[in-house]
Amino acid sequence: MKKLFLALLVAATIHVNAQEKVANKATTSSQKFRFALNGGFSRLLAKTSTSLSPQNKAYVDQLKSGVNFGVDAGYFVAKDWGLGLKFNQFRSSHTGLLYDANNFAVSASTDLVNTFFGPSFSTKYDSQNNKHMLMLSAAIGYMHYWSHNGFIKTTGGTVGSALDFGYDYRVTKNFALGAQLSFVGGALSKLTQTNGSMSVTSELEDNKKESMARLDISIGARFNF
């Protein structure tokens, strides 16, 4: 009798756990919207021009490292793929000395901002217990360049793209924490420099295009509905 009771108890426990897993999977699979906030470290990947002096090269290299923040909003049309919008911005700044052709040093301060915005496509894989999720996203859109150095403002724009590899850990049904590795790319063929009331636009040759390629490492919060 005791063995029969234990067998029934084990069977009931298995049944309840199975029902909970089914209910949990049904709940998460019914969530269509995903909203993600990201922030972290970035590094520009373009090589610094060899024509610069060692001092000026060091100044430019300081601007290659910065911070990023972004927002991703997606709607999953099917269980494992969806469409959305991506916004991402990179910022860096540096204050130091720049040297002219006569090796005369002047104090300089530069602010740099690269902004990407565009539609995205995502695919995801959920673990069996719905605690872990892997995501791959690709986006193509508009990339804007802005820098300010003293009285000179430089701007430009081009077609850009982004590729994201992400991992989410589900804390609750609607909230998760995540980490993401991203590659963002684009190359400027035209730059506009503004100094007060005067503005000059320059066309860049193919071998002198301004690369905005960078690597982002970020963490953030995810909301699922």
Q: Spelled out in words, what is the top-level CATH class assigned to the domain 33-224?
A: mainly beta
Q: Closest Cα partner for 204 from 190, 187, 186, 185? A: 190
pLDDT for residue 197 is more than 90: no
DSSP letter for each residue of 55-116? HHHHHHHHTTEEEEEEEEEEE-SSSSEEEEEEEEEEEEEEEEEEE-TT--EEEEEEEEEEEE
* pLDDT one-digit tens code per residue, 157-168: 999 999 999 999
What pLDDT shows up at residue 28? 56
Which run of H or of E encompasses 130? none
Indicate the domain borders of the chain: 1-30, 33-224
The size of the chain, in residues, is: 225
Average of per-residue pLDDT values in the chain: 87
* pLDDT one-digit tens code per residue, 80-128: 999 999 999 999 999 999 888 788 888 899 999 999 999 999 999 999 9
